[in-house]
Amino acid sequence: MKVLTRLDDSLDLPEEERLLLDAVRALCRDQIGPRAAAYDQSAEFPWDNINAINELGLNGMFIPEDYGGAKMSYVAYLATIREIAKSCAATGLIWGTNFHAVKPVIDFATHEQKTRLLPGIANGGLVSLCITEPTAGSDATGMKTRFTPDGDDIVINGGKTFISTGDHADLFVLFGKWSEIENDKAAISVVLVEKGAAGLSVTGKEDKMGQRAASTVSLSFDDVRIPRENLLCEPGDGLKILFSALNKSRPSIAAHALGIARAAFEDAVAYINQRKQSGRNIIEFQGIQFMLADMATDLALCESWLWQVGAMIDRGEEDVGIEASMVKMRASDLAMRITEEAVQLHGGYGYCKDYAVERYMRDAKITQIYEGTNQVHRQLIGRSFIER
């Protein structure tokens, strides 16, 4: 494991971020990791993990100090999400969703909106990012949810599907179309809906293959009335907000996937170092060593690219869409491949729930699908080379 540990240690984080990361590792080792299998089985929302994360004040690391947080670097955030996902992917998804969902508020909300909404999130509130609809998945611009201005209010009608944490969220960052704008794409707008809004209801909950304790629900907005001051930016600014949000959330999905991949790799290495067949430890067979060599090398390269993209975002570079697509696509494909090979290296035991690799393989799959499927990312990356 030396080469990967050296790569981890080479992350040049300031002392305070390093100390926080150590505290996260201890929390994952002592609490979150040991509870992961039971949460996977029960599919119950992991409140004690979320409460423990909030005791460490982790939401604060992405919220500016002026609004109750203690903002740290994006690289530190990526390193944290990777650690949490390594111990429990479902808990990582819940915490990561908080970041993905609240980032548009941090980047685009007015001072009044931030003062009103962010301190509660810094203190442990949960946020949902509501984009997908039953007929608008990969092409989110096909969404039908409608925002109709009515005096000082906005009236919302529509439905969302596959919304992470939607049954527990305190705040919903909701995408829809402004009724007064005719052009389909130009109409996309964003509003902020607070918990308890009349007409907002949870209409279904998914029973998932993996990341089972992270809830994924359908939401209905039936004449939901919110004050106009809950509009984010101007009507029609939705696409700008969406693209900016995705540039930050896609590397986060990569970090999450790499956490799962790293857990699977470490478990597999430990297992084949002690499992014997034909009088030798399995790791001594050359065919097995070739598998490890490919997995470890790809992990090192992908992790290095993750830190590179993270550093670009910390430097304030905005044009990082292709880099974000590349790291999301490659990290999630790698997580799927490594978790599948980790099952293979465990033989028949890997197919049984006594070993965590069985869960890692199920948890990894969704990372290739959400935040843009990997087919969509391949298109985005390939298209960027067309000379116009």
Among 162, 265, 355, 360, binds ligand FAD (CB under 6 A): 162
- x/- binding map, residues 366-385, to ligand FAD, per CB under 6 A? x--xx--x-xx--x------
How many residues of this chain interact with ligand FAD, rule: CB under 6 A?
19
Bridge-based pairing state of the strands 127-130 and 171-178: parallel
Quote the least distance from Cβ 258 to ligand FAD, whole Å.
Answer: 18
Contacting residues for 192 by C-beta, under 8 A, at least 6 apart: 105, 109, 113, 117, 171, 172, 173, 174, 226, 230, 231, 232
Cβ neighbour number for residue 256 with a 10 Å cutoff: 31
371 is a catalytic site residue:
yes
- CA 315/CA 136 separation, integer angstroms: 34
Q: How far is the CB of 133 from ligand FAD (least distance, A)?
A: 8
CB of 271 or CB of 370, closer to ligand FAD: 370
Nearer to ligand FAD, 61 or 242 (CB): 242
Q: Which residues pair with 191 in a beta bridge?
A: 174, 231
Residues near 51 by Cβ (< 8 Å), separated by ≥ 6? Answer: 124
Query: Which has the closest alpha carbon to 75: 61, 91, 58, 56?
Result: 61
- Asked whether position 91 contacts ligand FAD by CB under 6 A, the answer is no
Q: CA 335 to CA 383: how far, in whole Å?
A: 25
- To ligand FAD, the closest distance from the beta carbon of 26 in angstroms equals 28
Q: Is 23 in the site for ligand FAD (CB under 6 A)?
A: no
**The residue type at 204:** G
Task: Name the active-site residue from 83, 323, 358, 371.
Answer: 371
Least distance from ligand FAD to the Cβ atom of residue 164, Å: 3
Is the distance from CB of 332 to CB of 340 less than 8 angstroms?
no
List the interface residues with ligand FAD, window 195-234 (CB under 6 A).
208, 216
Q: Least distance in Å: CB of 138 to ligand FAD?
A: 3
Which of 33, 137, 159, 350 is in the footprint of ligand FAD by CB under 6 A?
A: 137
Counting every residue, how long is the chain? Answer: 388
The amino acid present at 91, given as its one-letter code, is: T
11: nearest Cα among 270, 326, 357, 258: 258
Considering beta carbons, is residue 139 or 319 the nearer one to ligand FAD? 139
The continuous run of DSSP H or E covering 342 comes out as: helix 321-345
Residue 344 binds to ligand FAD (criterion: CB under 6 A):
no
Q: For residue 184, how many C-alpha atoms fall within 13 Å in the half-sphere facing its CB?
A: 7
Judged by beta carbon, residue 145 or residue 230, the one nearer ligand FAD is 145
Question: Residue 80 interacts with ligand FAD (CB under 6 A)?
Answer: no
Find the binding residues for ligand FAD in span 103-132 (CB under 6 A).
129-132
**Residue 24 found at the interface with ligand FAD (CB under 6 A):** no
67: tokens are 């609004």
Shortest Å, Cβ 30 to ligand FAD: 27
Residue in the shown chain whose Cβ atom is closest to ligand FAD: 137
For the annotated catalytic residues, the residue numbers are 371
* Binding residues for ligand FAD (CB under 6 A): 97, 129-132, 137-138, 162-164, 208, 216, 366, 369-370, 373, 375-376, 379
